[in-house]
Amino acid sequence: MDDIVLFGTLRDPDLLEIVLGAVADAQPVSLADHRVFAAAGETFPLLFRCEGAQADGLLLQNLTGEQIARLDYYEAPYGYELEPMVLADGRRAQVYRPTDNQYRKGEIWDLTHWQATQGPMTREAAHEIMGLFGKTSVDALIPLLGPIRSRAQARVNARTDDIPTDLRQGFSRDDVVLTARRRPYSRFFALDEMELRHPRFDGSENVVEREVFVSVDAVVVLPYDPVRDTVLLIEQFRPAPFARGDLHPWCLEAIAGRIDGGETPQDAAHREAEEEAGLRFSRLVKAADYYPSPGALTEYLYCYIGLADLPDDAAGLGGLASEAEDIRSVVVPFQMLMDAVRSGEVQNGPLLICAYCLERERMQLRAEATPA
């Protein structure tokens, strides 16, 4: 069986070990008259002919049939299949390439930059993807990749250690022992059943079984025009209030959406504003970051006040048809928002928090925007 040469993300040794399920028998190799580029608008790499250039790769040898099947499973959802090639020294090998020309050439791709920016999330996602190997078909895996990458990004985000713990007892994640974990459901959201033990405040030990609804990190941004003193709100149908029996399942909200894999909260805020309301922000002001329901939900929200120009015609209809979104936006004076908060018409937690944070920051934002 021919050896396999890798020219992209799988040159990362940690990612490769996750995908193969073992440390690879590998050696560096080069391919003359080729260069690795990113796909246009993407972060993943492609191998292109380029006269006089040289592409660095990794030659995998002595692969088992199962290891090749694992590689195929990881690459197939992106439309990559093995095809033969001949190395500069005459050796035959195979390389993963797209099966058609759906990707265009972007900028030169750099492994070191990718490892620093996309590597942690991609390795996390690979653990979940390869956990489905032998259980889920490639066709069934493809629609799961977006949620998997977003969940992976959330786990990477959660590793930050810059949150104060001045008022807490001092326990950490290391004080929790996970004895069993099952995932009976996994699609856009997932459900984890866990058995764990942790110390109690009185010094004894707590042994518990818990179910956790596994969501992703999300961003919330309330558009505010400090010159006009207006905000933009959106309204849309929400299935959860409907399922609860709410007589008015159309909710007033701030702009919000999940943080995709490889995306920062700030990037997501700008993207969601464009998708939902056609807005561009001149600045994002931190409002609050928090768990909305930590007893059962992993979701973590990054909330901002987004400074924008909000004339009356900034309102309208928006949302992505591909996601069946139907969104109405409205521009109202700040005081009208706070009246709706006090009357109870605003029932959306993230909007409530953004409104109170804006109330706290409003005078300063107005002073900075309006010349004395």
User: What are the catalytic residues?
Assistant: 323
Length, in residues, of the chain: 372
DSSP element (H, E) containing 359:
helix 349-369
Q: First vs last Cα of the chain: how many Å apart? A: 76
Of the candidates 194, 80, 75, the one whose C-alpha atom is nearest the C-alpha of residue 129 is 75
DSSP 163: S
Encoding tokens for residue 37? 């580029």
Residue 90 and residue 101: Cα distance in Å, rounded? 27
Encoding tokens for residue 255? 């702009």
Q: In what order do the strands lie in the sheet with 26-39?
A: 80-86, 92-98, 3-6, 45-60, 26-39, 105-108
Residue 319 and residue 210: Cα distance in Å, rounded? 36
CA distances (Å), 348 to each of 188, 230, 249, 289, in order? 21, 19, 11, 16
Residue 240 and residue 246: Cα distance in Å, rounded? 9
Residue 18 and residue 12: Cα distance in Å, rounded? 10
Encoding tokens for residue 224? 């505010």
Residue 226, SS3? coil
Of the candidates 290, 320, 318, 319, the one whose C-alpha atom is nearest the C-alpha of residue 304 is 290
Of the candidates 289, 141, 147, 137, the one whose C-alpha atom is nearest the C-alpha of residue 214 is 147
Could you tell me the maximum CA-CA distance found in the chain, to the nearest angstrom?
77
Alpha helices in the chain (DSSP H): 13-20, 65-75, 111-117, 119-131, 138-141, 145-157, 239-244, 265-277, 334-343, 349-369
